Chains A and B, each alone.
Chain A
Amino acid sequence: MTVVLQASHLMKQYPGVKALDDVDFSLNSGEVRALLGKNGAGKSTLVKILSGAVTPDQGSIAVDGREVTIKSPQDSFAQGISTVYQEMSLVPGLTVAENILLGRWPLSKRFGVSFIARKEIVQQAAEALSQLEVDIDLNQLASRLNVAQQQLVEIAKAISFDPRVMILDEPSSALPSEEVDTLHRVVRRLAEQGRAIIYVTHRLQEIPKVADSVTVLRDGRTIGTIPVQEATPERITQMMIGSDWKRTEWQRDAELGPVRLSVRNLNSKGLLRDVSLELRGGEVLGLAGLLGSGRTELLRAIFGLDPIDSGEILVDGTPQLKPNPISMKATGIGLTPEDRKKQGLVLVFPVEDNLTLASLHRVSSMGVLNPGKEKVLAETMVDNLAIKTARLDVKTRTLSGGNQQKVVIGNWLNTLPQVLMMDEPTRGIDIQAKEQIFALVRDLARQGLAVLFVSSEIEEVLDVADRILVMNQGRITHSRQHDEVDLEQLMALVMEEYTE
């Protein structure tokens, strides 16, 4: 084993935060290194420095023992480093295949003129995608992909560079379990070929499956690097958080109230088939299912974002004839969308404005805003959700990924919803903050909030939900109380072959 990548004394200061404070990092060939730390610990900053997206204030980087300057992504590519960033960056107007080979499109010469060789593009892209064993239409526009598909395409793109060092920043956060398993296999295979891999994640349970060693960052400093054998969840959380940490215990003691939301025989373009459900006050209902099983589509249809062909949506017994976000919000329903960047946040807004985006009616009277009230709402959420931000008026795009996600949740909690639908609410959120959020949600449930949530982390669904609905090809195929199934049984229900 030889050291391929060595970074020394990296420093990066942003206004109000030291994102990296004298960080050393070294990586061997054939090694998979998990990079861990709480939201805002500096993981993505380290990743971006190695990939040339951000230049450090101080420090040096050596590849194969030779010092190199990495000032741009091109420099990083030239060193054989390819990166999957935490925030998706596909070009929406290009096809999947064009995105995978972006900037490296094969050309063919005819009549002395170079043309883009479409066939070759599709061929080469198909090869890259086939390693991930997923089925995505290569000629589809990237703008039509959901978050999980975007993530897979990004990974395929990184693989197609044939890199010596591959950096994956939270590649699994948007993926359902079975895709994560495939990803682990791919990563292990690449490592066996002698490549070095950095793997950022918040999912502790995947570490033994994929990593050889673990590095933990806290507040911009390296806390330590340990072999995977020593990386018990207790040890890692201790390193991440600094003190001994006890899981926040929550109880499922909420009394079920009246039916808040009911959906009857909902059909929509073959994406949803005959879906019916009832959700009561105080109840936390989890939706489990495979990629494309219709979970997001169901939430969107209820919120009036996509048209429905037939069926009924009732809130507190009142049929919603033409549901849309405005009318649904008025009836006390909220939706935290899956794609924080495109659907959840105005990235150029100050954090404060994103935290009150959906509750302007609560902080104004007769159309005039009350800055004092706004500030109170924003500050409360920053505390309750432990949002790490230098100030309330910094642009939201400067927050770390996990902290941006918390802002999306805070925005909707601030509306004081009766029913909150959450699509992958914990994507990119660290374990401690996750517990905090679920404790908060549980607390609200005790006061009558009804929750309908989707998570591709099936353990999480089992952990948090009172009742679980399994979706398969647009239908609800099973309904179970949380204590009626264990993880294995639930997995089996999710994976079940389903035929008409």
Chain B
Amino acid sequence: MTSAVQSSSPTLRDRTSDLLARSGLLIALLLLFLALALFAPNFLTSRNLLNVLRAVAFNGIIACGMTFMIIAGDIDVSVGSAVAWASALLGVLAIQHGWPLGLAVIFVLVQGALIHAGAGYIRVRWAVPAFVVTLALFMALRGAARLITNAFPITPFPDSFNFWGGGYIFGIIPVPVVIMLAVFVLFHFISVRTVYGRSVYAVGGNEESARLSGISVWRTRITTFALLGFLSAFSGIILSSRIMSGSSNIAVGLEFDVIAAVIIGGTSLAGGEGTIFGTFLGVLFIGLLSNGMVLMGINPFAQEVIRGLIILVAVLISVARTRK
């Protein structure tokens, strides 16, 4: 019997190998970069570019978890509120109640994972759409954050805490950027090389087939929720370190920037398809766009309109691609 596989072309296991699909985004990113380099004053300076990276780091960290969520066929609109809740809680515990900072940080991370795991449990136990569960969280967490802080920022954290959000490595690379890159690398690895990562794709691609193949749909979904909750809390802590206060008013609307980045990055809203690398490009794209518009002095309200339109175009491209 002849082998039915022609092994001429390399079979890259790596899902990032889907270059064709992503080259469109890469080209768009390069064009945007070029345009900004030409037209936006002070764009092409290492300080500005590193600032862009630092600005996207907080979203980027969360976008990794959101990518898994959307690949699994779910969506989470509560991450902005989760960030604010984490920040407020950290301030209340570490400053008002005088907990040791390290302990407060660990507590905030753990509760972030647990609250989201709870939402995930509700999602699978009663087959409630993730959108609905996280919409409830979106409202409740923001409210809770304001409740415990009376909507005032809580200060002061010890100066040393500023390192995580505002510090530099080698005196030039912002710490959040390094953290973000580490998270991206880790999540890329999880997505292509772990049983859990493969299960996320399977559950999003066809839940019934995954279940019948003996993959635990519950465990996969709840883990995905918990990871995203953890990352949101993590991002909230770094953001608190950056602004040096526990605040309930930060990260308003962050969820939509994150979701937009994931979708621009080529992750299918239908589930089952998407890559962490694509999300990385999507995060950069949105970051560059925002930065460029600020540098060019575009009216802030007009900026929102432009961003909205560009996201729409990106979604249309993504839909057209999945149709093919």
Contact = CB atoms under 8 A, between A and B. Distances in A.
Given A353-B198, A360-B195, A382-B5, A335 B215 contact: no
Q: Which of A358, A374, A387, A389 has the most chain B CB atoms inside 10 A of its CB?
A: A358
Interface in B233-275: 272-273
Contact of B212 (A343, A369, A386): A343
Contacts of B211: 325
B311 interface: no
Contact of B6 (A364, A369, A391, A415): A391
Given A382-B5, A383-B1, A387-B4, A344 B215 contact: no
A343 B196 CA distance: 20
Contacts of A328: 214
B4 A388 contact: yes
A307 to B, nearest CB: 15
Given A369-B194, A369-B195, A393-B12, A357 B6 contact: no
B213 A358 contact: yes
A361 interface: yes
Nearest to A342: B208
B215 A389 contact: no
Contacts of B45: none
Contacts of B206: 342, 345-347
Interface in A337-385: 337, 342-349, 352-353, 357-358, 360-361, 364, 367-369, 371, 374-375, 379, 382-383
A357 B202 contact: yes
Q: Report, as a range, how many residues of chain B touch the other chain.
A: 20 to 34
B125 interface: no
Contact of A360 (B11, B12, B199): B199
A347 B3 CA distance: 23
A97 to B, nearest CB: 25
B178 interface: no
A329 B210 CA distance: 13
Contact of B4 (A325, A357, A369, A383): A383
Nearest to A369: B193
A107 interface: no
A348 B73 CA distance: 13
Interface in A220-275: none
A392 interface: yes
A95 B46 CA distance: 62
Contacts of B17: 393
Contacts of A329: 213-214
Interface in B195-209: 195-196, 198-199, 201-202, 205-206, 208-209
Interface in A440-486: none
Given A353-B198, A360-B198, A374 B13 contact: yes
Interface string B281-292: 000000000000
Interface in B207-237: 208-216
A389 B195 contact: no
Given A326-B215, A379-B5, A391-B9, 18 more contacts: A16-B6, A328-B214, A329-B213, A342-B206, A342-B208, A345-B209, A346-B210, A346-B272, A352-B11, A353-B198, A353-B202, A360-B195, A360-B198, A360-B215, A367-B194, A367-B196, A369-B194, A375-B13
Interface of B: 1, 3-7, 9, 11-13, 17, 193-196, 198-199, 201-202, 205-206, 208-216, 272-273
22 contacts: A16-B6, A305-B212, A325-B212, A325-B214, A328-B214, A329-B214, A337-B212, A343-B208, A343-B209, A344-B209, A346-B201, A346-B272, A352-B11, A353-B198, A353-B202, A358-B213, A364-B195, A368-B195, A379-B3, A392-B5, A393-B17, A411-B213
The 7 nearest A-B residue pairs measured at CB = A329-B214, A346-B205, A358-B213, A371-B13, A357-B213, A346-B206, A348-B272
